[in-house]
């Protein structure tokens, strides 16, 4: 059975970086950030492509964000997505996951979908909410933190990771939404010819009017949402920091381990 798979991707600032707060305290400073495809979404993309390779069908890579997301979409095309769609909501911070998900849901409605995949969470805002919200809004059955996808009859049988290493296996019919966990597969590298080809492929853009909206401000929200402020985290008790050259640090560490009786002589 050929399947239409929509995989939702998010571009995030590399979380290994150090961050500074913008002058107004409402966002981080974004001028110098480098962006990448969100970690869990790499696995969602790979899962989507594998499903297509096994079942036949098409993969559409969908994102919400400014023009800077285009290289990420081309990466998705190079790794096996057939089409890339960018919803042109270009609010750089986009903290309100509820608004993002409502716009994204409207975009998914315009695309044929037997299966919608997202990553389990984005590593920048760690909401773990977009997938579940989409399922609720679109009325799709869903499963979260999925580590294994199998096709059974006309539906799916998937393993969902719980705390402490337990896995809950559930079955669900399609269309369905799955949030894919880190490590669910081994994401591929894009072959060079595919990268070259992806560079020339068009990226479809969906603006507010394509989603039945007059503007991005006219998304109907049952609430008012405001970011009141960003700050460096309140230090909960910092480690005693050992400074100096590597050799000096090594002396101190060895001394500490000996003092505390962790070294057998």
Near other proteins in 74-103, by CB under 8 A: 95, 97-98, 101
CB atoms inside a 10 Å sphere around CB 55: 14
Specify the stretch interacting with other proteins by CB under 8 A; choose among 14-22, 50-58, 191-199, 208-216: 14-22
Residue carrying structure tokens 């060079």: 192
Per CB under 8 A, the list member of 92, 173, 207, 212 interacting with other proteins is: 173
Per CB under 8 A, contacts with other proteins among 184-203 are none
Q: Is 66 helix (H, G, I), strand (E, B) or coil?
A: coil
Asked if residue 134 binds other proteins (CB under 8 A), the reply is yes
Strands (DSSP E) along 2-154, which ranges?
3-9, 11-13, 35-37, 57-64, 83-87, 115-119, 142-152
Per CB under 8 A, contacts with other proteins among 107-126 are 121, 123-126
Asked if residue 151 binds other proteins (CB under 8 A), the reply is no
Strands (DSSP E) along 88-141, which ranges?
115-119
Per CB under 8 A, the list member of 54, 67, 109, 258 interacting with other proteins is: 258
Asked if residue 182 binds other proteins (CB under 8 A), the reply is yes
Per CB under 8 A, the list member of 31, 34, 193, 238 interacting with other proteins is: 238
Per CB under 8 A, the list member of 24, 31, 217, 247 interacting with other proteins is: 247
Per CB under 8 A, contacts with other proteins among 17-46 are 18-19, 21, 28
Q: Structure tokens of 52?
A: 């297509």
Q: Is 69 helix (H, G, I), strand (E, B) or coil?
A: helix
Per CB under 8 A, the list member of 165, 189, 202, 217 interacting with other proteins is: 165
Asked if residue 13 binds other proteins (CB under 8 A), the reply is yes
Per CB under 8 A, the list member of 1, 23, 154, 235 interacting with other proteins is: 235
- How many angstroms separate the CA atoms of 217 and 260, rounded? 60
Asked if residue 257 binds other proteins (CB under 8 A), the reply is yes
Radius of gyration of the CA atoms of the chain, in A: 22
Answer whether 44's CB lies under 8 Å from 180's CB: yes
- How many angstroms separate the CA atoms of 19 and 100, rounded? 23
């Amino acid at each position: 059975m050929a399947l239409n798979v929509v995989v939702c991707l998010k571009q995030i600032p590399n979380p290994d970086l150090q961050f500074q707060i913008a002058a107004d305290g409402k966002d981080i400073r974004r001028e110098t950030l480098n962006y990448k495809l969100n970690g869990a979404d790499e696995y969602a993309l790979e899962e989507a492509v594998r499903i297509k390779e096994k079942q036949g069908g098409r993969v559409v890579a969908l994102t919400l964000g400014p023009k800077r997301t285009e290289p990420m979409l081309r990466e998705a095309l190079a790794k096996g997505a057939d089409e890339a769609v960018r919803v042109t909501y270009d609010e750089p911070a986009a903290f309100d996951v509820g608004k993002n998900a409502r716009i994204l849901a409207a975009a998914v409605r315009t695309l044929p979908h037997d299966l919608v995949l997202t990553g389990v969470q984005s590593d920048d805002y760690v909401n773990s909410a977009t997938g579940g919200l989409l399922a609720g809004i679109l009325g799709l059955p869903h499963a979260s933190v999925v580590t294994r996808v199998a096709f059974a009859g006309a539906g799916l049988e998937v393993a969902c990771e719980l705390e402490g290493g337990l896995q809950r296996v559930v079955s669900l019919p399609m269309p369905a939404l799955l949030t894919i966990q880190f490590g669910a597969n081994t994401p591929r590298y894009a072959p060079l010819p595919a990268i070259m080809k992806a560079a020339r492929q068009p990226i479809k853009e969906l603006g507010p009017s394509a989603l039945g909206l007059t503007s991005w401000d006219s998304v109907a929200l049952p609430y008012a949402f405001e970011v009141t402020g960003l700050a460096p985290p309140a230090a909960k008790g910092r480690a005693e920091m050992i400074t100096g050259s590597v050799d000096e640090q090594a002396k101190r560490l060895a001394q500490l381990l000996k003092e505390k009786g962790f070294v057998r002589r």
